[in-house]
Chain A
Amino acid sequence: MATPAQVNSKLSALPLRCRACGTAAEPQANAICGECLGPLDPDYGTDRAYPDRETIAGRARSLWRYHEWLPFNGEPELSLDTGFTPCFEAPALAQRLGVGRVWIKNDSVSHPSLSFKDRVVATAVNAARALGLDTVGCASTGNLANAVAAHAARAGLKAWIFIPHDLEVGKVIGTLVYGPNLVRVRGTYDDVNRLCTQLADRYGWGIVNVNLRGYYGEGSKTVGFEIAEQLGWRLPSAVVAPMAGGSLVTKLEKAFREFLKAGIVRGTPPRIYGTQASGCAPIVNLVESGADRVTPVIPNTIARSIAIGNPADGLFASQAIKTTGGWVAGVSDADLVAGIRLLAETAGVFTETAGGVVVAGALALAKNGRLTEKDEVVLCITGNGLKTIEAVSPDLPDIPLIDAKVKQVAELVEKAGQT
């Protein structure tokens, strides 16, 4: 644990409580319960005041408009403009899926680093500031590296970022440009994650997804809050999300539960569906097998952004999925690439591999009758396709090369059947 260097008097992090055994803990850069090693979550207490719809709607369009459900007292001062990404209906995609209505929650245009990881890092850097830490870091499959580097640069925090050695070029450059201490590690994400868990213990840095994890994870809830607001203060019948460590699906379930409890929305919580690439599907395996423990796998997929073979929240994700009546889908690499193209061609959004997994997973879930024409489905598109062009470029058609002559264009138009 780090010694606070400079505590921000305007902002304080909430105390923590173990999700597994209920043991209470002071606000700190530690996410592990000393009693049972379970996850420490922020403790919002029982007397916290929550706003109504009108109050929320009158606030700035960022994730901080829901600040009462985020793990602080006082005024956050970092990353104030993250969140409130577009959520729009995609009827052509709904038709292709064979479901009633479909919306795209488009975090591929998240500010500033083009993935939903901006949300969790926004809360994590404020936790770092509140706890007086001057260095943040992460173990990352790419998107989190981008986000930590960007948010830390803006906040003036030092950053130590660890990634697997073979990440996509876009994600490496999209981290390095911000000037962090970036380190490539020989091995998989799970090797990197184990290393960072040891480093957080040794150096006391604010490793956002290790010892700041309790505060970090709460940022994911804002995807759920925004979905509810952007659908007109109501809930869809189903939400489909990618799963890596499994945290996002647990936080979606928590967000909808919290909005229902606060009376912000009414009705039935959405069924939550989790999707993974078949080449790294430990949570899909867990749900389908009904086992009580995750069996780790060694990832073998192009969906590197969600290639976590030993998911920390696997069991909790399984519980969230089953509690809501949802299910899981594993998809092949070929199908996820087809999913990327289908989303682009029907909804005008270029997503990365994880988004392709969501679209392909939704197709599979519709095909086996788990999503139907009665459903209103939100697809969580969590990252930008420009970061993983290697995944889709081999699958795209050749581009005609012509001289600057009308005749040659006319031949192409005729060939395309648009004469």
Chain B
Amino acid sequence: MSVTLHLPTVLSRLADNQRAIEFDASTVRDVINGVANRFPALAPRIKDEQGAPHPFLNIFLNDEDIRFSGGLDTIVKDGDEVTLVPAISGG
């Protein structure tokens, strides 16, 4: 499935300043692992040592927080959009 990953500025600078990147993926985890493998400097900023999402990062699939669906195992479909948003915000 072709999925688009959107990165915030704070992360895109470590991905050749790309704000949107296409991935072939079956789950959100595939997308996260895909961008981490393509841009190794991003890896510690999007995943912790156990492979869980970084605690200061929220992940949205089509604007829905993946913690309310299947987490990283949430299934993606063609045309979906995954967005990474810094968690320290609001209140």
Report which of A20, A30, A247, A315 forms a contact with B91, defined as CB distance below 8 A.
A247
B16 within 8 Å of A (CB atoms): no
Determine if B91 and A313 form an interchain contact, defined as CB atoms under 8 angstroms apart: yes
The answer for the CA separation of A293 and B10 in the assembled complex, in Å, is 22
Determine if A210 and B87 form an interchain contact, defined as CB atoms under 8 angstroms apart: no
Determine if B85 and A32 form an interchain contact, defined as CB atoms under 8 angstroms apart: no
Nearest chain A CB to B53 CB, angstrom units: 9
Closest to B60 in A: A194
B39 within 8 Å of A (CB atoms): no
Contact with B along A188-205 (1 / 0, CB 8 A): 011101101110010000
Of A33-41, A272-280, A390-398, the one with at least 4 CB within 8 A of chain B: A33-41
Question: Across the interface, which residues of B come within 8 angstroms of A312, CB to CB?
Answer: 87-91
The answer for the CA separation of A188 and B38 in the assembled complex, in Å, is 34
- The A13-33 residues at the B interface (CB cut-off 8 A) are 20, 30-32
Determine if B45 and A36 form an interchain contact, defined as CB atoms under 8 angstroms apart: yes
Question: Across the interface, which residues of B come within 8 angstroms of A239, CB to CB?
Answer: none
Q: Which secondary structure dominates where chain A touches chain B?
A: loop
- The A243-273 residues at the B interface (CB cut-off 8 A) are 244-247
Determine if A38 and B56 form an interchain contact, defined as CB atoms under 8 angstroms apart: yes
A129 within 8 Å of B (CB atoms): no
Number of A-B contacts (CB under 8 A): 83
B57 within 8 Å of A (CB atoms): yes
Determine if A34 and B13 form an interchain contact, defined as CB atoms under 8 angstroms apart: yes
Of B21-29, B63-71, B72-80, the one with at least 4 CB within 8 A of chain A: B63-71
Determine if A209 and B91 form an interchain contact, defined as CB atoms under 8 angstroms apart: yes
Determine if A296 and B90 form an interchain contact, defined as CB atoms under 8 angstroms apart: no
A295 within 8 Å of B (CB atoms): yes
Determine if B55 and A315 form an interchain contact, defined as CB atoms under 8 angstroms apart: yes
Nearest chain B CB to A332 CB, angstrom units: 23
Report which of A35, A191, A293 forms a contact with B55, defined as CB distance below 8 A.
A293
Question: Across the interface, which residues of B come within 8 angstroms of A236, CB to CB?
Answer: none
- The A214-248 residues at the B interface (CB cut-off 8 A) are 244-247
Determine if A201 and B9 form an interchain contact, defined as CB atoms under 8 angstroms apart: yes
Closest to A292 in B: B55
Closest to A210 in B: B89
Determine if B89 and A37 form an interchain contact, defined as CB atoms under 8 angstroms apart: no
Determine if B55 and A209 form an interchain contact, defined as CB atoms under 8 angstroms apart: no
Determine if B89 and A31 form an interchain contact, defined as CB atoms under 8 angstroms apart: yes
Nearest chain B CB to A224 CB, angstrom units: 17
The answer for the CA separation of A296 and B68 in the assembled complex, in Å, is 8
Contact with B along A109-121 (1 / 0, CB 8 A): 0000000000000
Determine if B89 and A196 form an interchain contact, defined as CB atoms under 8 angstroms apart: yes
A65 within 8 Å of B (CB atoms): no
A37 with B87: in contact, given A194-B58, A296-B67, A310-B65 (CB under 8 Å)?
Answer: yes
Determine if B85 and A245 form an interchain contact, defined as CB atoms under 8 angstroms apart: no
Determine if B88 and A213 form an interchain contact, defined as CB atoms under 8 angstroms apart: yes
The answer for the CA separation of A315 and B58 in the assembled complex, in Å, is 14
Contact with B along A162-192 (1 / 0, CB 8 A): 0000000000000000000000000001110
B8 within 8 Å of A (CB atoms): yes
The answer for the CA separation of A194 and B84 in the assembled complex, in Å, is 10
Question: Across the interface, which residues of B come within 8 angstroms of A30, CB to CB?
Answer: 10
Question: Across the interface, which residues of B come within 8 angstroms of A209, CB to CB?
Answer: 89-91
Determine if A37 and B65 form an interchain contact, defined as CB atoms under 8 angstroms apart: no
A157 within 8 Å of B (CB atoms): no
B2 within 8 Å of A (CB atoms): no
B33 within 8 Å of A (CB atoms): no
Contact with A along B43-55 (1 / 0, CB 8 A): 0010000000011
Determine if A296 and B65 form an interchain contact, defined as CB atoms under 8 angstroms apart: yes
A1 within 8 Å of B (CB atoms): yes
A298 within 8 Å of B (CB atoms): yes
Nearest chain B CB to A326 CB, angstrom units: 19
Determine if A193 and B10 form an interchain contact, defined as CB atoms under 8 angstroms apart: no
A365 within 8 Å of B (CB atoms): no
A191 with B63: in contact, given A37-B54, A210-B89, A245-B90 (CB under 8 Å)?
Answer: yes
A-B contact pairs, 15 of them (CB 8 A): A32-B10, A34-B10, A35-B45, A37-B10, A38-B88, A197-B8, A197-B86, A198-B8, A198-B83, A209-B91, A246-B91, A308-B90, A308-B91, A310-B87, A312-B90
Binding site for B on A (CB under 8 A): 1, 20, 30-32, 34-39, 139, 189-191, 193-194, 196-198, 201, 209-210, 213, 244-247, 293, 295-296, 298, 308, 310-313, 315
Binding site for A on B (CB under 8 A): 8-10, 13, 45, 54-58, 60, 63, 65, 67-68, 83, 85-91
Q: A37-B87, A38-B56, A191-B63 provided; 15 other pairs, C-beta below 8 A? A: A31-B89, A32-B8, A32-B88, A35-B45, A36-B56, A37-B45, A194-B65, A197-B8, A197-B90, A198-B83, A213-B89, A245-B91, A310-B87, A312-B89, A312-B90
